[in-house]
Amino acid sequence: MEMTLQSNVVQPLLTDRYQISMAYAYWKNGKHEQESTFDLFFRKNPFGGEYTLFAGLEECLKFVQNYKFQKPDIDYLHKILPNYTEEEFYDYLSTIDMTDIKIYAVPEGSVVFPQIPLLRVEGSILKAQLLETTLLTLINYASLVATNAARLREVAGPNTRLYEFGLRRAQGPDGGLSASKYCYLGGFHGTSNVLAGKLYGIPIEGNHIHSYVSAFQNLDELKIRVLPDRITGASCPFVESCEKYLDELGPILKISPNQTNKGELAAFISYAISFPSNFSALVDTYNVIQSGVPNFLAVALSLHECNYKAVGIRLDSGDLAYLSMKVRANLTEIARKFNIPYIEHMTIVANNNINEDTLISLEKQGHSINAFGIGRHLVTCEKQPALGCVYKLVELNGIPRIKVSHDIEKITIPGRKSLYRLYDSGGEAICDLMTRFDEPAPTANSRLLCQHPFSETKRAYVTPSSVKCMHRLYWANGNIQHPLQTWDEVRLYAEQQIKMLRKDHRRNLNPTPYKVSVSNSLYLFLHELWLSSVPISEFA
């Protein structure tokens, strides 16, 4: 990963107020340098699924690397903290950086599951605590939208291309950028967002929209009326040629050539003159079948005569299953009548309120769409707009800490832990296993007891063919410890990670739960600490 532009708002003050209050209270009570361990994890996979793609790590590391309170930040804190706050605290804050913090994490793009620590942050409690909110902010949405993208990728199948078109529906500028970046990670092919293309090297896509089409009224207004032949350079009478082909198309497509919208035709011609090798047309401004497609084909045939190949059409409204098949039928017919085979296979792009359910429904109905643009549902993650990552203290001064709760799933698993993924002989993941940090690592081909963390009867013996330690040390001694990968490498890794997951864990509806287990030692330890932390109620 290269370190790319990060929004200038990612800075130490981008945090919750209580982090500052707690920092002062730790400092005031001489507790601020106590050695702590925090786990960052979530409790439930999003979208009713059984897996999550982990994302946001690069941005976290960058934030930690640049962590520094500036003078105006300290001035602002002076204003908001009580006037009896000791001056030495501000002096202390001014000096801190994250040099002596350690961050272990699973690699960006990993498939991850509930309860497992995605990040383990170690170091003085004041500093480790100060990181909480910003790390969560950087990981929650990144992981959520990457997972959303991966699920759409799974549903769309390998032959359909997917583009993220959601900038205008995102939560502001870098909500939009994050969407583009992390949807690409999740398997999308590109985005409409130009800045995302520039910053992250993601392919970008897009031609024109309805405004362009409705900006033209008729053919008279076209100032350029000729096009140089791609090979000979000879000037073709392009407008004339389009009119001629439109007349020829009438009887074949059973439409009346003089009823196609001539503003639309003018728009298509002008666009083709600008992008003769990359001509695509949005065909639904007036009427797809009566106007858009005939106008497009008239221009495509004229381009062919000048030795260019048009790319295809885009549908932005209407019944996408019906329209795409009808358009494909037209393309096929024209390809045969004019003996130009590639016309049959031109790209049909569609975007209109696409989500997982509409993709599944389109697959069932049958359609002829080659690529989808997805905006709102993708970037807002409408089905579940937040991933509930949390950041919990699990050890202090070498003593494990637990947060108990009436809700079992809200109990934290105490202490520093190691995380392993166990694989079968086919290379598919069997389950994840957390152990106490000082336990020996599990080894391949040996029988392990894997227990559900909270339910004593749920347990199984597993003999893995291979075992992988999932945590790597990413940040220590003030430096990033791993050469970071390019974004394309991260994307490829994510794709491989998903493939290592059994298909029944990945399916859209009622997937099989993937098991996250703890070692027997961790199980006993967790339950002992849990019992000792809860007072026995007294009913009088």
What part of residues 161-220 is at the interface with its own copies (CB under 8 A)? Answer: 165, 167-179, 192-195, 197-198, 204-212, 214-215, 217
Q: Which is nearer to its own copies, 47 or 439 (CB)?
A: 47
> Tokens 């040996």 identify what position?
446
Of 35, 78, 237, 254, the residue at the interface with its own copies (CB under 8 A) is 254
Instruction: In angstroms, give the least distance from the CB of 10 to its own copies.
Output: 5
Of 37, 45, 140, 147, the residue at the interface with its own copies (CB under 8 A) is 140
Length of the chain: 540
Binding to its own copies (CB under 8 A) within 315-344 occurs at 317-318
Strand runs labelled E in 43-95:
52-53
Q: Degrees (nearest 5) of the Cα angle 379, 346, 191?
A: 20
Of 218, 232, 256, 463, the residue at the interface with its own copies (CB under 8 A) is 256
Residue-wise burial string across 101-134, b where 16 or more C-beta atoms lie within 10 A, e elsewhere: bbbbbbbbbbbbbbbbbbbbbbbbbbbbbbbbbb
Binding to its own copies (CB under 8 A) within 50-89 occurs at 72-73, 76, 80, 82, 84
Of 8, 339, 457, 477, the residue at the interface with its own copies (CB under 8 A) is 8
- Identify the three-state secondary structure at position 484: coil
Integer CA distances (angstroms), 476 to 96, 102, 122, 308, 396, in order: 15, 5, 10, 56, 19
Indicate the pairing of strand 399-400 with strand 52-53.
unpaired
Binding of its own copies by 226 (CB under 8 A) = no
Q: How many Cβ atoms sit within 10 Å of the Cβ of residue 539?
A: 3
Long-range residue pairs from 201-209, CB within 8 A, at least 24 positions apart, any chain: 201/486, 201/487, 201/488, 202/487, 205/163, 205/373, 206/165, 207/271, 207/275, 207/278, 207/280, 207/281, 207/282, 207/314, 208/267, 208/271, 208/281, 208/282, 209/282, 209/316
Binding of its own copies by 408 (CB under 8 A) = no
Interacting residues of 122 by C-beta distance below 8 A, sequence separation 6+: 35, 36, 37, 38, 101, 102, 103, 104, 128, 416
Binding of its own copies by 129 (CB under 8 A) = yes
Binding of its own copies by 250 (CB under 8 A) = no
Instruction: In angstroms, give the least distance from the CB of 397 to its own copies.
Output: 9
Of 55, 60, 136, 350, the residue at the interface with its own copies (CB under 8 A) is 136
Of 2, 3, 25, 235, the residue at the interface with its own copies (CB under 8 A) is 25
Report which of 38, 33, 1, 32 is spatially closest to residue 134, judged by C-alpha positions: 38
Binding to its own copies (CB under 8 A) within 272-291 occurs at 273-278, 285-287, 290-291
Q: Which is nearer to its own copies, 276 or 442 (CB)?
A: 276
Total residues binding its own copies (CB under 8 A): 130
Rounded Cα distance between 100 and 128, Å, is 10
Of 16, 88, 247, 409, the residue at the interface with its own copies (CB under 8 A) is 16
Q: Which is nearer to its own copies, 101 or 467 (CB)?
A: 101
The region of 141-149, 359-367, 446-454, 493-501 touching its own copies under the rule CB under 8 A is: 141-149
Binding to its own copies (CB under 8 A) within 348-407 occurs at 376, 379-382, 385-386, 388-389, 391-393, 396, 399, 401-407
> Tokens 């957390």 identify what position?
434
Binding of its own copies by 261 (CB under 8 A) = yes
Q: Which is nearer to its own copies, 300 or 462 (CB)?
A: 300
Of 3, 68, 78, 224, the residue at the interface with its own copies (CB under 8 A) is 224
